[in-house]
A = this chain, B = another copy of it.
Amino acid sequence: MSYQAPVKDMLFNIQHLAGLETLTHQVPAFADFGLDTAGAVLEECAKLTQDVIAPLNFEGDKNPSSWKDGVVTTTPGFKQAFRAYAEGGWQGLVHPTEFGGQGAPKTIAAACAEMLQAANMSFALCPLLTDGAVEALLTAGSDVQKATFIPKLLDGSWTGTMNLTEPQAGSDLALVRTRAEPQPDGSYKIFGTKIFITYGEHDMAENIVHLVLARVAGAPEGVKGISLFLVPKFLVNADGSLGARNDAHCVSIEHKMGIKASPTAVLQFGDGTAAMCANGAGPGAVGQLIGQENRGLEYMFIMMNAARYGVGLQGVAIADRAYQKAAAYAKDRVQSRPVDGSVAGSAAIIHHPDVRRMLMTMRSLTEGCRAMASTAAAAFDAAHHHPDAEARKQNQAFYDFMVPLVKGYSTEMSLEVTSLGVQVHGGMGFIEETGAAQYYRDAKILTIYEGTTAIQANDLVGRKTARDGGQLARGIAGQIEVTEAALAKRDSAAARAVLKALRASREDFLAVVDFIAASAKASPNAAYAGSVPYLMLAGNLVAGWQLARALMVAEDALATDKAFMEAKITTARFYAEHILPRTASLRAAIVDGADSVTELSLDAF
């Protein structure tokens, strides 16, 4: 088995940390999504991802998507796997029933998304992007647009893309130059080049729905003059059937370090050559406006926030995959005697303390980030569906704070975990046939796309912390104190160890929140110099907090499943003793070290 979905751990989180039963009682629409359903859904998803999709992961690295004359051929087997995925109804899992979705809570769907990403990140990017396109249409699309496009996206006939980046416009979307020319019939002609378009061209579906940021002539400068357009690969007739090929073409795909099976396209919209204008209407890609002009960035952010959470799950997913592989190797590979003399001769390397330290680091980081993501998903569901407006508002605020942590911290941690994964394998880890190296290469994109870690950290500092003077952040610290109080009532060694570390890290967090809130306006360079360390501190703390909650559940449920609960307790304690203390050094760097970040003169670099 190349991948074993961690169904038990996911259900533990869903039940005990995310509180699914509370949600299903409060939200009538979720009444059918109780724990039993969750269990059944996860088991079904585990089968598909383990048996059908995971085996294609290594294959995709060896035989990546290829481009020829504008046509992209995906890895052998991807097309069939995508069919199985679509026919299982998985693309619609979290989306509204009125368009053919299943209307499941994100609390459940997030676990399925993690499985899909763990099984095959390159493959899973296609559904991830389609999810984003559906979100954007649900938010800002017209009724006709929704009815025309969403059902086809959910049944897997078509897929979606996000077209933001241009060569000169990456993190800085104010620099977008692609232009949209209004046509007499209400449509637009799109002209421009977009790069880094994930699944911008492929052979797994009959049509591709590009969502494209562009400027209408005369629009305001900067981000306030950007609109969002829907530009299908094949035009769609009024009856939903496919029409002419649009003037939107893939001129190349990138040669990347990782996620090689995922085609990363350069798309040319309206290149003006007659041969490309099969729509017979002259050059320019035919697009339709989504929502209102000049509000494109706002809509795109909705899509991007969903995608950012999804990329955070990719971090958890690839970390778990790397952990599973490393643990299996460590149990199998025999090398050297244990230092404690517990085995007479050479033993499996899992008997060596440093191998154990690496595996526990991988495991605890993965479980911590998974727990954080699960809690965040519950907040999302409550924010969108809770009957009480105040509860919706509070959950939304909590979720908003979590998104940069789930995205930023989980992906940064995946770099550490996949690196350790190679390390556990020793020399074999560096040989591509082993497979551990692929996770290391694949993971590196995660801290970059959908907003680099620095972009997440800017969001955390600016919108999520400084804007309200640190109030929301302090509120979360207050919730952590409640957990500390509960831990203090226990007398197990594990609870005491976790309490000590959690309290110290929460105090580090508060000191940094005070620093950020105080300096964001007065000394922005100082606040933003500490932005990524602050994100890492906050993510570390919140993940550790969730594991602390898990520890208490596990202590109380020891009788129900001793081996699992004991492992959870040990993992939570390891995290508290080995990972949480990192907040001390981050605090010192942020609070004492801001000046030295920007002191060196530019000439000296």
Contact = CB atoms under 8 A, between A and B. Distances in A.
Contacts of A584: 581, 584-585, 588
A449 interface: yes
A120 interface: no
A460 to B, nearest CB: 12
Contacts of A528: 339, 352-354
Contacts of A355: 454
A366 to B, nearest CB: 12
Nearest to A592: B577
Given A172-B336, A335-B175, A593-B578, A600 B524 contact: no
Interface stretch (A37-45, A85-93, A250-258, A281-289): A250-258
Interface in A550-605: 563, 566-567, 570-571, 573-574, 577-578, 581-585, 588-589, 592-593, 596-605
Interface string A332-367: 001110011100001000101111110110010000
Interface string A513-539: 000000000001101110111000000
A441 interface: yes
A432 interface: yes
Interface string A493-521: 00001000000000000000000000000
Of A353, A415, A584, most B-chain CB atoms within 10 Å: A353
Given A255-B431, A444-B430, A577 B589 contact: yes
A128 B86 CA distance: 54
Nearest to A354: B454
Contacts of A423: 447-448, 452-453
A212 to B, nearest CB: 18
A330 interface: yes
Contacts of A6: none
A218 interface: no
A422 interface: yes
A524 B604 contact: no
A605 B359 contact: yes
A431 B256 contact: yes
A440 interface: yes
Contacts of A419: 415, 444
B335 A563 contact: no
A206 interface: no
A196 interface: yes
B567 A258 contact: no
Given A257-B440, A339-B525, A581-B589, A445 B426 contact: no
A371 interface: no
Nearest to A364: B596
B529 A256 contact: no
A377 B195 CA distance: 48
B604 A457 contact: no
Contact of A524 (B339, B531, B583): B339
Given A426-B170, A427-B165, A596-B574, A602 B531 contact: no
A570 B352 contact: no
A433 B255 contact: yes
Interface string A273-294: 0000000000000000000000
Contacts of A160: none
A577 to B, nearest CB: 3
A581 B577 contact: no
Given A346-B172, A497-B592, A528-B354, A566 B430 contact: no
B596 A588 contact: no
Contacts of A47: none
A340 B526 CA distance: 10
Nearest to A567: B604
Contact of A335 (B171, B350, B573, B577): B171
A432 B433 CA distance: 20
Given A447-B423, A525-B353, A588-B584, A599 B577 contact: no
A467 interface: no
A429 interface: yes
Nearest to A588: B581
A437 interface: yes
Given A170-B335, A336-B171, A605-B327, A457 B600 contact: no
Interface string A94-131: 00000000000000000000000000000000000000
A196 B339 contact: no
Interface of A: 165, 168-172, 174-175, 195-196, 254-258, 327, 330-331, 334-336, 339-341, 346, 350, 352-357, 359-360, 363, 415, 419, 422-423, 426-427, 429-433, 437, 440-441, 444-445, 447-449, 452-454, 457-458, 497, 524-525, 527-529, 531-533, 563, 566-567, 570-571, 573-574, 577-578, 581-585, 588-589, 592-593, 596-605
Given A419-B444, A426-B448, A573-B596, 17 more contacts: A170-B427, A171-B336, A171-B426, A174-B336, A175-B335, A196-B427, A256-B430, A257-B422, A352-B528, A353-B529, A359-B605, A360-B597, A422-B448, A497-B596, A563-B604, A577-B592, A584-B585
The 5 closest A-B pairs by CB, nearest first: A577-B593, A581-B588, A581-B585, A257-B437, A567-B604
12 contacts: A169-B335, A171-B335, A341-B524, A354-B457, A354-B532, A363-B605, A423-B453, A429-B448, A430-B448, A497-B592, A563-B604, A574-B597
